[in-house]
Amino acid sequence: MKGDYQDLVDEISALLGAPATLENRDFRLIAFGAHDSDDDLAMDPVRTRSILTRQSTAAVRSWFEGFGIARATGPVRIPAAPDAGVFRGRICLPVRYRGIVQGYVWLLDQEPGPDARALAAAMEVAQRIGLLLAEEARAGADLSREFLAVLTAGRGWQQDMAVAALRVALGPGGEGPHAAVCVSPWSGEAPASVPGAAAVCVAPGRGAGEQERRPGDGPAGQCLAVLIRLRGTDPLAPALTAISRLMPRAAGGAGGAGGAGGGRGAGGADGTGGAAKADQAAGPGSPAGGKAAAPGAATGVTAGVSDPVRALTALPGAWQQATAAARAAAAGPRLGPVAQWSAIGPYRMLASVAEEALDDPVARALRGPANPELARTAEVFLDCAGQAGRAAAALGIHRQTLYYRLSRVEQLTGLDLDEGEDRLLLHMALKAARLHG
């Protein structure tokens, strides 16, 4: 479908004699026309940032929506704002389907501008784009049953049948590259749609620090599963953007979850019009600024992203990766609330071999209330590859204090931390205990 969008954007560019860009309703870049002009103003900071980053901030989105583009049914002219990096005015063509905005086509305004007949023809093309975007969003919601069946089917013929049904439902694009995403825990229903997703469903899963639950055990055992289509030169970018928009809603109940379909990325005209002005207004510490709080950080919600897979038969394995990464993000704060399976280190192995909590006596001896600092000291020491200076600095203690604590660890566990296998056992026992809360 990526090629369809590109062809339609190129058609609008030809009709209006100017390069066009297409974004979905959440201001994520989908396609853009060729920029072969010698005019330096054709690629002002706003347009350059839009094409390179494919997204922008919520403040930028609000700035452009202030011109009424979300309500408009025809072209909207937006004036230049040089102090905001917008050196040329914009023409916004709202992309609608059955009265609902699906996205925006952006062009640089110029003198003389396009005549009314050309704009009307371009709006007809925008309507065709709206139909494609609406069908894509509806397909993701409509495939929840088939997607859930693949995630929950057992091995063998049941899984083969579930994958075959999903393949038929997805159509020709079903075997393209995808990534599985797990957002956990999830409360309420699945969002009506997630832009860029091939399918979305609520699946039985594992909340942070919880044991596996069966379907029907209640919201605490639920997670949101998203099958993301991967496109472009940075294929995981859409998945990560989708997650960042979903996570603040994850713990908000059915009402919050239901709104996820309408507010994912934030971008500006051709993605980021008014970027400098809007970001400055938001301030560096606000959610729209450069140092926003990480999604999910205040709610305990974590998310995991699998490695890309091309065949749908590999989807069950990708889902295992995504759930493992979400659990690892809950266990290891350094990973952040969103973790990619490829970056979770030892949790990759622990999540696959330790489905149930490992009550190893080594970890049990250190995690009791009488020894609050010993487990942390041992873990930091081992994370630092046994380098005492680094570990002491990370813990903020004197090296002699570190040595004393490590000797207590050896006494309580019976391990010799000069031995590699003993170090490995202790490190994995501590990580497994963290993974299972």
Of 96, 119, 137, which closes a domain? Answer: 137
pLDDT digits (tens, 9 = 90+) for 151-208: 988 778 888 889 888 888 887 667 778 899 999 888 878 876 676 788 889 998 653 3
pLDDT of res. 98: 83
Q: Is the dihedral of CA 379, 380, 382, 388 positive or negative?
A: negative
Residues 53 and 162 in one domain: no
Residues 303 and 203 in one domain: yes
pLDDT of res. 250: 58
pLDDT of res. 84: 58
pLDDT of res. 306: 92
Q: Domain range holding 424?
A: 361-435
Residues 345 and 366 in one domain: no
For residue 413, give the CATH number of its domain. 1.10.10.2840
Residues 184 and 226 in one domain: yes
Q: Which of 6, 10, 21 is nearest to 56 (CA)?
A: 21
What are residue 241's DSSP bridge partners?
Answer: none
Give the number of C-alpha atoms closer than 13 A to the C-alpha of residue 374, restricted to the C-beta side: 21
- Dump the DSSP string for 316-330: HHHHHHHHHHHHHHH
Residues 7 and 81 in one domain: yes
Residues 216 and 286 in one domain: yes
Residues 128 and 151 in one domain: no
Residues 336 and 222 in one domain: yes
Residues 156 and 202 in one domain: yes
DSSP state of 307: P
Number of separate domains in the chain: 3
Report the distance separating Cα 291 and Cα 295, nearest Å: 12
Q: Which of 423, 414, 428, 412 is nearest to 360 (CA)?
A: 428
Strand stretches in 46-121, DSSP E: 76-78, 90-97, 100-108
What are residue 21's DSSP bridge partners?
Answer: 32, 106
Strand pairing report for 302-305 and 222-229: unpaired
pLDDT of res. 72: 92
Residue 185 preceded by cis peptide, ω within 30: yes
Report the distance separating Cα 376 and Cα 358, nearest Å: 18
Q: Which of 92, 99, 175 is nearest to 134 (CA)?
A: 99
Q: Which of 47, 436, 89, 79 is nearest to 272 (CA)?
A: 47
Residues 181 and 323 in one domain: yes
What element of type H or E holds 375? helix 374-383
Report the distance separating Cα 263 and Cα 111, nearest Å: 34
DSSP state of 338: E
Residue 19 preceded by cis peptide, ω within 30: no
Report the distance separating Cα 331 and Cα 209, nearest Å: 8
Residues 113 and 227 in one domain: no
Residues 344 and 425 in one domain: no
Start-end of H helices in 221-312? 237-250, 253-258, 275-282
Q: Which of 54, 6, 53 is nearest to 33 (CA)?
A: 6
Of 82, 103, 137, which closes a domain? Answer: 137
pLDDT digits (tens, 9 = 90+) for 286-328: 223 333 344 444 457 889 999 999 889 999 999 999 998 998 8
Reduce the DSSP state of residue 79 to 3 states and report it.
coil
Contact 152/166 with Cβ under 8 angstroms? no
Reduce the DSSP state of residue 92 to 3 states and report it.
strand
What are residue 424's DSSP bridge partners?
Answer: none
Written as tens digits, the pLDDT of the chain (437 aa) is 455 788 999 999 999 988 899 988 878 788 877 655 555 545 554 455 554 444 556 666 777 888 999 899 999 998 887 765 567 788 999 999 888 888 999 988 877 778 899 999 999 999 999 988 887 766 655 788 889 999 988 778 888 889 888 888 887 667 778 899 999 888 878 876 676 788 889 998 653 334 444 333 334 478 999 998 887 666 677 667 767 777 765 555 433 333 333 332 333 333 333 333 333 333 322 223 333 344 444 457 889 999 999 889 999 999 999 998 998 888 877 888 889 998 888 888 887 665 554 567 777 778 777 677 898 899 899 989 999 999 999 999 999 999 999 999 999 889 999 999 889 888 888 887 777 66
DSSP state of 260: G
Report the distance separating Cα 181 and Cα 325, nearest Å: 9
pLDDT of res. 83: 67
Cα 49 to the center of its chain, rounded Å: 20
Contact 88/108 with Cβ under 8 angstroms? yes
pLDDT of res. 73: 92
Reduce the DSSP state of residue 156 to 3 states and report it.
coil
Report the distance separating Cα 313 and Cα 311, nearest Å: 5
What token pair was written down for 176?
A: 């393209």
Report the distance separating Cα 276 and Cα 272, nearest Å: 9
Q: Which of 218, 206, 175 is nearest to 322 (CA)?
A: 206
For residue 41, give the CATH number of its domain. 3.30.450.40
pLDDT of res. 182: 92
pLDDT of res. 139: 61
Of 91, 110, 137, which closes a domain? Answer: 137
